[in-house]
Structure 1
């Protein structure tokens, strides 16, 4: 049997696509290895009617809603291979199972590489975060830090976080990445800039208390944000020869179509779009519309 769509990735993009395709009476199999990038996240914000939802609760609700559509199945298994075979795609799993699908939707997301700083992982997702739109409200008016090692990212993030707290410290962790003009702009807003290398983050129970630098200087901080290097969580976009943009994201049109016919992508894997729950879910819905539209057109040839 050849199913209509194989969705690789069970995050908000993949699940919302499955919901829309299920309602369109398409046969769908979602492959979810259950290793989300937001595993450390305590709450998700910015999603109307779901503001503050715990990621596990969101997934449970999504699975329950999708279960009412009998043509959609979710398997908690890792995909190990995918290839184009005539007019379909062959997907191989870690269990050795082989599945054929008319279309493939890549919703595999990203993996992040945090700066190498002692203690950072102890606070990440508890008092140090990656997205101010997701977690800035909870840290408002506290003494905060932005940790960033790339110039434009550092400058941009510091300006954005300033909206939530004017008691702000920008740390470049030993990198001299800001221009004089950028530093002056930040100074005028009272944003401190420290270029010394960070040797440790210190606090208790995941709550940041202070930052220690190689100079032995310490700065009191109660939370903050960190920029990370983002990479594709899976190689399937490149394996299928999809065009990638300069930031390493999969190139798509507004309905999630990649440059390879029959292959679609949605969510964080696109790169260059804000990494928020509601935006990923919306991208999944758009891609599902693209899949259903193209399948329907092929049925009328």
Structure 2
């Protein structure tokens, strides 16, 4: 059975950029992807030079077109269910049936979002309610905004959002997560805090109009930001014995090498911040360079 130089799990910007670099280095690559990108719900991706405002679907179309120009790169549209270490490298079990064998492994499956259970949220998420101010703050500039979060880091997020609008309501969704000093600083900027849980969002055609609370009150807002929980799309640390952080991020060195020999990680699932398209692509490039370097050293040894 054919053994690839590298198997890449995940076809987002990290996995695609890794495949591009490896293809150009004339390494045999298989890119495994289940076509369920986390940013698929959003109307456009931003902050990536020459592609600012591109839709996620168009970004993937262009990327696959470029990557698959290189004859040593193969795309397998399949989900990886298990990975085991072998004498030659790794064996990947996939939904396509036959196992995939590879000398090196790049994990770039990314994250999945677990949204708060608030009525109507799905209707507005990716259209007028977002996660990342850097990604979508410009589109919401100077509008009356809401920041809904039960994360203690909400104070930092509000400070970021203030770069786009001064009209902000903070909703902690029933949690006491702001200390006295933070409350005073927000109040001094005219930012109100609502601790009553959010019951629902309302509006039309994906455009937010009001935020409703469980006590029957509501506030008029035209957009804002939510803090979903971010969970790994795939976890293979028990089988492959690489280390992860307390919040399930894969620990790597600056080039994407994990603590397990032959295993690399890139994109949102690795310990890379912030979670943005351009950072993910860059980390994929670095992981690919590390794979090429390590394969070269093994061959010369």
TM class, shorter-length: over 0.9
- Displacement of 1:271 in angstroms is 4.2
CA distance in 1, matches of 2:214, 2:68: 54
Residue 247 of structure 1 deviates from its aligned partner by 2.4
Shift of 1:42: 0.7
* Length-normalised TM-score, structure 2: 0.98
Per-residue CA deviations over 1:46-69 (Å, capped at 9, x if unaligned) read: 000000001111111111111210
Instruction: Tell me the distance in 1 between the aligned counterparts of 2:272 and 2:266.
Output: 12
8 Å contact 1:247–1:271 — kept in the other structure?
no
**Aligned counterpart, 2:228:** 228
Q: Deviations over 1:226-283 (max 9, x none)?
A: 0111111101234311100122200000111000000000000014511111110000
Aligned residues: 300
The yes-or-no answer on 1:172 pairing with 2:166 is: no
Which residue is 1:108 aligned to?
109
Shift of 1:139: 0.2
Unpaired runs of 5+ in structure 1?
none
Alignment of 1:221-300 (within 5 A): 221-271=221-271, 273-300=273-300
Distance (Å, rounded) in 2 between the aligned partners of 1:211 and 1:8: 39
Q: Is the 8 A contact 2:88 2:102 kept in 1?
A: no
Distance in 1 (alpha carbons) for counterparts of 2:130 and 2:219: 18
Shift of 1:77: 0.8
Query: Over aligned residues, Cα RMSD in angstroms?
Result: 0.9
CA distance in 1 between counterparts of 2:110 and 2:168 reads 30
1:253 counterpart SS class: coil
Q: Aligned to 2:268, what secondary structure does the other structure show?
A: helix
Secondary structure, counterpart of 2:224 in structure 1: strand
Distance 2:64 2:101 in 1: 23
- Structure 1 runs (4+) deviating above 4 angstroms are none
1:206 and 1:29 mapped to 2: Cα distance? 38
Matching of residues 1-301 of structure 1 within 5 Å: 1-151=2-152, 153-271=153-271, 273-301=273-301
